[in-house]
Structure 1
Amino acid sequence: MSDETGPGTGGDLFSKFDDIIALREGLLASGQEDPFSLVMEKVLSPTRAICNGRETILLGTYNYMGMTFDPDVVDAGKQALEDFGTGTTGSRVLNGTYQGHKECEDALREFYDMDHAMVFSTGYLANLGIISTIAGKGDYIILDIDSHASIWDGCAMGNAEVVPFKHNDIEAMEKRLKRVPEGAGKLVILEGVYSMLGDLAPLKEMVAIAKKYGAMVLVDEAHSMGFIGENGRGVVEAEGVLDDVDFIIGTFSKSVGTVGGFCVSNHPKFEIMRLVCRPYVFTASLPPSVVATAATSIRKLQHAGNKRGHLWENSKRLHKGLTDLGFQLGTAECQSAIVAVIMPDLEKGAALWEALLKEGLYVNLARPPATPANMTLLRCSLCAEHSDEEVGTILGMFERAGKATGII
């Protein structure tokens, strides 16, 4: 530990971050633009923004269905802002439930055809709240090791026994379930689409095994809602296990196009969660304009088959095009709207990220510890509003930047 001391402390509480501070300073010392501090000066559409004074194609926003500028969605938000003001200034269990919150939950129940829906202020809070509340001391959580940070934090907050297994390894999951003591509460946590590489979980097999051992199942569908499945209900729908899972967690900040989180369930006792789930009870509820946009967007996503089809076309074309150019991708086949390009190291990744930005293309630079197996990734996420022409332009940008940086 560092010998440096801060005012009134016995040591520097920031010393634990010295390695990451040095890494960041090393990147910036070479004149590299900070890839984690980009400012969008003006957003023009779901696929375009002004960054560093120039028009830039957005390929890293998770705006999968392009709902952020949908006229009906925007109008609903404006109307709610006029009718109900800017915020609730209270928790859902006190003064923070407006008519719009109930309508948003109605839209979710209808979308998933489930009995219960609970809206949280963010997707992170949805995982944090549901997991920490249903699995506590003495219970066991069996989860994929590549699970999102919000899932891990929910596990830690609930103080359950956490038993991870190798990513998407069905046998490893079953081995862990076999070892759980008889009579203990069991929760299996999976994701439909894993956000770093864009790969899918084998939910059909995994859910069947979880049920065989009497476990409840929670599936996070943040990156598949609205897009995957005949009605956009996610991988659970595509794999035919919608009725077998106990909880589906999702977010409004991806396909829905705003901010917020939710859980839907058919469990007969689910409504008690509104009184016992701390991240729901002890935080202010979403502003009326946000839930109005979310409800409108969710209802439109029910009938967005054409947009889903176009997004699949975009995703498959980009995946194939980058593979043909010689880039190494996170999946052999296109499985979702996330296309992850694997970089040799962080320096090369940052260089290609900057070269693409200068071309007029924004993608996400993802680095350890957020990424699996210490990989550095340039993560692309397609949007249903990307035109055929834009996808062609994107491939040209990748080719030029890839050659200029020596990646291909």
Structure 2
Amino acid sequence: MDSQKGTDSVSQRIQAMTDRAADLKARGAYFYNMAVTEILDDARVIVNGRNMGMYASYGYAGLLGHPRIAAAAKAAVDKYGTGTNGVRSLAGTLDLHVELEETIADFKHAEAAITYTSGYATNLSVISTLMGRGDWILSDKLNHASIVDGCMMSGALFRRFKHNDMADLEKRLQQAPSDVAKLVIADAVFSMDGDIIDLPKVVKLCEKYDAWLMMDEAHSIGVLGKTGRGIEEHFGLGDVVDIKMGTLSKTIPSVGGYVAGKRDMIEYLRHASRAYIFSAALPPAQAAAAMESFKVILDEPWRLEKLQANTEQFIGGLKSAGFDTMLTETAIVPVLCGDDERAYELTGAAQAKDLFVLPVVSPAVPNGLARLRATVTAAHATKDIAYALDVLAEAGKEIGII
């Protein structure tokens, strides 16, 4: 039988992407997968021998390299070694994992918590375990890809509502039969736009239509709320979210994900979610680092204050220069460029002056909404942010963005 490899749809998709990457590399406009040779802190890195200001990090609280966190990780390696050689349900659970989950539950004011080895896998597994055929899932249009994939994997009826549009969410809820399980899910802080979900209104709608509520707090833990506990604290609402999901790889400088909530739900996930049952446990060093990070956030509230001040300086400076930062109100700051080529040009100009920023282009964002997805952290100095603003403003004018 003749082989179709090279002409079938799989080969065509592979060829299209490799051609696109090759073209960008040939033009010096490919900025992805750049090897960082040294991480100095959450504000500076060494790339290709150059000391660059880091404006693409998710380490919002500036905890990377914190001595307490590093010491906890090293002590865990000395005590337990580098891995567990097992899944959590069998031989993989350490007392360290139990302590981490208790720490997360306390931090989130929840009865219990469960951890996973990947934030992506957390959403994929939790959504598809809790929801199934015949159920309804209503998801914000700008939710993270891991949420979308979890919704599709669940087999539930999957409907999107317009971004942060409560009237559209209510319309979707009204369409759902009253006798089916319903889940409303949204990012707390949206990963490409930096704006915040209208949680008070979402909560009211979930109560009105008897729907479960899940919040993905990947970008809100250590960022929102007086003590960094996240979106519920930010709005002063108490314990109103049924499924409190978060990651351990952004503000928390480790790896993995978690869900906190009612004890019976967590027990169900522990015995039914495939990413927990069939994945090896978090390595000891990563579990210890994550646990200590939650404690540092509470012990060093100045980090939240510094992050807020840096965020206001960065957003305010970009707006004053004439940039469109969309609706952001957090440390995730989109610098709107328009078409993909202008995003590449602005990135190149910024990197030439030692600003590590990265472009986000189609299909990750809609055509015409290409941007730099810039971030600031508590580790940035005021003078460094001022320098970054000057570089971006000068380049933006030369390119014609502002």
Under TM normalisation by the shorter chain, which class is it? over 0.9
Contact persistence 1:343–1:378 (CA under 8 A): yes
Identical aligned residues as a percent: 35
Matches within 5 A, 1:126-275: 126-266=122-262, 268-275=264-271
2:63 to 56, 67, 70: 67
Change (3 A) 1:318 1:336: same
For 2:360, the equivalent position in structure 1 comes to 366
After superposition, where does 1:287-326 map in structure 2 within 5 Å? 287-326=283-322
One-letter code aligned to 1:236: E
Cα distance in 2 between the residues matched to 1:263 and 1:153: 17
Q: Distance in 2 between the 1:281 and 1:323 partners?
A: 48
2:382 is matched by which residue type in structure 1? D
**Does residue 376 of structure 1 match 2:358?**
no
> Does structure 1 retain, via aligned residues, the 8 Å contact 2:113–2:260?
yes
Distance in 2 separating the partners of 1:14 and 1:367:
23
Aligned to 2:22: 25
* Cα displacement string for residues 55-102 of structure 1 (whole angstroms, at most 9, x for unaligned residues): 000011111011111000000001111111111121111111111111
Q: Distance in 2 between matches of 1:185 and 1:64?
A: 36
Partner in structure 1 of residue 395 of structure 2: 401
> Please, which runs of 5 or more residues in structure 2 have no aligned partner?
none
Q: Give the letter for the 2:372 counterpart.
A: L
Aligned counterpart, 1:348 = 342
What's the offset of the Cα at 1:23? 3.0
Considering only aligned residues, what root-mean-square deviation do their CA atoms show, in Å?
Answer: 1.7
Q: Give SS of 1:13's match.
A: helix
Q: Retained in 1: the 8 A contact 2:339–2:367?
A: no
CA contact (8 A) 1:57 1:362 kept: yes
- Classify the secondary structure of the residue corresponding to 1:41: strand
SS at match of 1:400: helix
**Deviant stretches of 4+, over 6 Å:** none
The answer for the alignment partner of 1:117 in structure 2 is 113
**Matches of 2:401 and 2:265, distance apart in 1:** 54
Letter in 1 for 2:266: F
Between the two proteins, the alignment pairs up a number of residues equal to: 401
Match in the other structure for 2:282: 286
Note closer, same or farther for the CA distance 1:21–1:374 as it changes in structure 2 (3 Å cut). Answer: farther
Contact 2:339 2:368 in 1 (8 A): no
Q: Distance in 2 between matches of 1:368 and 1:23?
A: 12
CA offsets 1:98-129 (integer angstroms, 9 cap, x no match): 11111111110111121010011011111111
Question: Of 90, 93, 99, which residue of structure 1 is paired with 2:89?
Answer: 93
CA distance in 1, matches of 2:121, 2:384: 35
1:188-232: CA deviations, max 9, x gaps? Answer: 001110010101111101111111100000011110101211121
Q: TM-score, normalised by structure 2?
A: 0.96
Q: Following superposition of structure 1 onto structure 2, how do residues 331-342 of structure 1 map, counting pairs within 5 Å?
A: 331=327, 335-342=329-336
Displacement of 1:282 in angstroms is 0.8
Q: CA deviation at 1:285?
A: 1.1
TM-score (norm 1): 0.94
1:341-378 superposed Cα distances (whole Å, 9 cap, x missing partner): 01121111011111111110112311222225652110
Q: Secondary structure at the match of 1:69?
A: coil
